Amino acid sequence: MPGNSFGKIFRLTSFGASHDPWIGGVIDGCPAALRLDREAIQVEMDRRRPGGNPLGTARNEADRVELISGVLDGTTLGTPIALLIANKDARPQDYDHLKDTFRPGHADRSWEQKYGVRDHRGGGRSSARETAVRVAAGAIARQLIATAGMRVNAFVTQVGEARLEAAYDTLDLSATWNEPVRCPDAATAKRMTEAIETVRAEGDTVGGIITCVVSGMPPGLGEPVFDKLHADLARAMLGINAAKGFQLGEGFAAAAMRGSAYNDALIADDTGAVTTSTNHSGGIQGGISNGENIVFDVAFRPVSTLMKEQRTVDREGRSVVLEGKGRHDPCVVPRAVPIVEAMTCLVLADHWLRQRTARL
């Protein structure tokens, strides 16, 4: 059953695999009359593109986005926006040895269990190559929600043992893009970079954590019960390759806290404007944004493909030893930062439009 669409009103349908001629997507539900800045879309693509980061894969793709419908003279028409991104630097021959062998930690075997057939070339559609489509669509969503003042900033807060300890509101988040490792604090960025270089040198990989902050939030976004704003954010984040955990505000640390310490007190100023004294709840209460910054973390597992021998099985159920091959990132988090932002933008665009129908 379809699982390749995301969103109820602002809705992305994604297609394409690592070694198809193109990957692409269709956005249905983007309102008419939005002025689109195409270069701003490309800026996002460049932040994610393979070949654009010294810490990442050697695969090199220009990732120029072609908008082939839904936009006329720079303005959206209300019709579906289709986008295409060419796969140019594919090397299917690199994957011949995987046709009948399942890589440990990868989706190779579970996809075969599901469908009985599988595109083994570069992992097929389970490849993170598909996330380029999300970044392009997210860049359009970002321009939509910017009209309502929302700003989305993600950055790396952990790589292996190297953690960013400073609170986000003490940092200049615009510095994130200065560092290939995508941590806005230069000293921490250095430690993270070293951690990645170390595992790369050993043919190994390492995990990490990305934090995302949304400022300029309008209150009232998110639907009660099942479609809580953070529930949809969690689903969006765990739909990213290698993501294994999500927490909002204090998250798992809240388990050890008392209510008297956790509750965000409501404070009114002289004009009757209300804020919260703290933001332990991460800007969402009862599933609905309260106007404070949204803050959440996403945990990523280490990349599955090692440049080392690993024990595994083939399609006939025979034990084999797999050598590491292909072009892969040693750590996914630097290149996942724009993906986290993109998925956040898609969730917010959808909920912002949903909110238009909440009141008479």
Subset of residues 255 to 284 that bind a copy of itself, contact rule: CB under 8 A: 255-268, 271-274, 276-277, 280-282, 284
Residues 6+ apart with CB under 8 A from 214: 150, 151, 152, 153, 283, 293, 294, 295, 344, 348
242: left (phi over 0), alpha (psi -120 to 50) or beta: left
Q: How far is CA 60 from the centre of its chain?
A: 20
Among 96, 308, 323, 325, binds a copy of itself (CB under 8 A): 308
Q: x-or-dash pattern for a copy of itself, window 340-359, by CB under 8 A?
A: -------------xxxxxxx
Which of the residues 185 through 204 are near a copy of itself (CB under 8 A)? 199, 204
**Cα(123)–Cα(98) distance, integer angstroms:** 9
Q: Which of 57, 205, 293, 344 binds a copy of itself (CB under 8 A)?
A: 205
Query: Residue 49 Cβ, how far from a copy of itself at the closest point, in Å?
Result: 19
Question: Which of 294, 247, 285 has its CA nearest to residue 266?
Answer: 285
Nearest residue (CB) to a copy of itself, 174 versus 256: 256
Residue 344: which of 296, 305, 311 has the closest Cα? 296
As measured in angstroms, the least distance from the Cβ of 185 to a copy of itself is: 17
What contacts 150, CB < 8 A, 6 or more positions away?
214, 215, 216, 217, 218, 348, 352
Among 56-64, 184-192, 224-232, 334-342, which window interacts with a copy of itself (CB under 8 A)?
224-232
Least Å from the CB of residue 256 to a copy of itself:
6
Tell me the number of residues near a copy of itself by CB under 8 A.
Answer: 157
> Candidates 17-25, 38-46, 47-55, 173-181 — which segment interacts with a copy of itself by CB under 8 A?
17-25
Q: Which of 194, 252, 323, 325 binds a copy of itself (CB under 8 A)?
A: 252
In the region spanning residues 20 to 59, those forming contacts with a copy of itself, defined by CB under 8 A, are 20-24, 26, 28-29, 31-34
Q: What is the DSSP letter of 58?
A: S
User: Which listed residue (91, 97, 318, 325) binds a copy of itself by CB under 8 A?
Assistant: 318
165 binds a copy of itself (CB under 8 A): no
Beta carbons within 10 angstroms of residue 137's beta carbon: 32
Asked if 18 interacts with a copy of itself (CB under 8 A), we say no
Question: Token pair of 103, please?
Answer: 């890589």
- Taking the C-alpha atoms of residue 141 and residue 351, their distance in angstroms, rounded to an integer, is 11
Residues 68-107 close enough to bind a copy of itself by CB under 8 A: 68-70, 72, 75-82, 102, 104-107
Part in contact with a copy of itself (CB under 8 A); list of ranges 42-50, 54-62, 165-173, 241-249 = 241-249
Tell me which residues in 110-129 interact with a copy of itself (CB under 8 A). 110-111, 113-119, 124-126
Q: Exposure of 129 by Cβ count < 10 A (0-12 exposed, 13-18 middle, 19+ buried)? A: buried
Provide, rounded to whole angstroms, the least separation between the CB of residue 177 and a copy of itself: 22
Q: Which helix (H) or strand (E) holds 341?
A: helix 333-354
CB-based burial, 266-286: b 16+ in 10 Å, e otherwise: eeeeeeeeeebeebbbbbbbe
Q: Show the CA angle centred on residue 276, arms to residues 270 and 282, nearest 5°.
A: 155
To the nearest whole angstrom, how small is the minimum distance from the Cβ of residue 39 to a copy of itself? 20
Shortest distance in whole angstroms from residue 333 CB to a copy of itself: 8
Q: Is 325 in the site for a copy of itself (CB under 8 A)?
A: no
Nearer to a copy of itself among residue 58 and residue 318 (C-beta): 318
In order of 7, 137, 171, the CA distances from 236 in angstroms are 10, 13, 26
* 172 vs 226, beta carbon nearer a copy of itself: 226
Asked if residue 176 binds a copy of itself (CB under 8 A), the reply is no
